[in-house]
Amino acid sequence: MDIALIGIGKIAVDQHVPAIAASSDWELAATVSRAGTVDGVDAYTDFDVLLAERPEIRVISLCLPPVPRFEYASKALKAGRHVMLEKPPGATLSECHALEAMAKAKGVSLYATWHSREADKVAAAKDWLSDKTLKSFRVTWKEDVRRWHPGQDWIFEAGGLGVFDPGINALSIVTKILPDAIHLTASTLLFPQNRQAPIAAELKFFHPGGADVSAVFDFRQEGEQTWAIEAVCEEGTMLLTHGGAQMFVDGVAQGATETGLHGEYPRLYANMAALVRAGGIDMDLSPMRHVADAFLLGRRETVVPFEF
């Protein structure tokens, strides 16, 4: 199937383009970007022109920042195209619900992707937790914004999510692997004096079984990056590390050792191909609800200015 990739930035170049190139399901037929291009692929700078000139491209993958994404997604859906959304699927929950309604009205597929759910050991962690009695659950997600988003000021603008841009990856795993639904009860958000989005956050959750569930996110981590989830249960302790790529039970590694985003984006594109063929929609917004609740309940603290 022909697909167009909209927004040729770091994540598109690092993950989307290689995943599409390696897939037997897809042919990258065009891109839209103000400056970025992909060698050998038709490049547009105007999305409206692409939609008008290339009706044979039935699938659109959006890799734009969250704030402008709704405009592009709604245009694509109204034009009868299937749409794949990089995380988060929109700037607000209301936007996401509106997009789902448009997709249903047009009879096209819509996919809110959560790439961290496709990390190598997430499915195994879900299976392990399914019959365990949870006592505590701790998420530690700390990374260096300068390394992963160099010079991307939009991430600290209103709607850019700040530290929740990576934090929502953790929440996508949490909402996938926990057998019981949780909800936020308290949050503390650290805002640099010169920014509109938080650079760090601490969260507390209600768990129906009384387990102690918490998370800490930080965009200021230097040196080793930390993407870990620890579940202490009556039956043992499970630890996910490297963003869900590695899993340990009582200190013993489970399965092969993976690193980075190994296999995540190829699996997303395989999922999208299956949705298009089945005419399906996957718009699970549970990770985004936790982020919205964190902003609603957030106790704001001001910290030193941040510059890239």
Write down the mean pLDDT value for the chain: 96
Q: Is the pLDDT of residue 260 over 70?
A: no
What's the mean pLDDT in 250-266? 86
Residue pLDDT, tens place only, 103-114? 999 999 999 999
Q: What's the rounded mean pLDDT across residues 80-104?
A: 97
CA distance 174 to 170: 6
Residue 308: CB atoms within 10 Å = 11
**For 90-102, what is the mean pLDDT?**
97
- Burial of 21 from C-beta contacts in 10 A (0-12 / 13-18 / 19+): exposed
Average pLDDT over residues 135-163: 96
DSSP helix/strand/coil, 11: helix
d(CA 199, CA 210): 29
Q: Which domains are delineated in the chain?
A: 2-112 (3.40.50.720), 120-257+292-303 (3.30.360.10)
pLDDT at 226 over 70: yes
Q: How far is residue 3's CA from residue 16's CA, in Å, rounded to a whole number? A: 11
Q: Are 61 and 276 in contact (CB under 8 A)?
A: no
For residue 208, cis peptide bond before it (omega within 30 degrees of 0): no
pLDDT of 26-71, one tens digit each?
999 999 999 899 999 999 999 999 999 999 999 999 999 999 999 9
pLDDT at residue 256, rounded to an integer: 84
Q: What integer pLDDT is reported at residue 4 of this predicted model?
A: 98
CA-based diameter of the chain, in Å? 60
Query: What's the average model confidence in pLDDT over 8-27?
Result: 95
Q: Active-site residues: which are they?
A: 87
Q: Which position has the token pair 């997009």? A: 99
- Average pLDDT of span 151-170: 96
What is the pTM assigned to this prediction? 0.95
**Residue 183: pLDDT above 80?**
yes
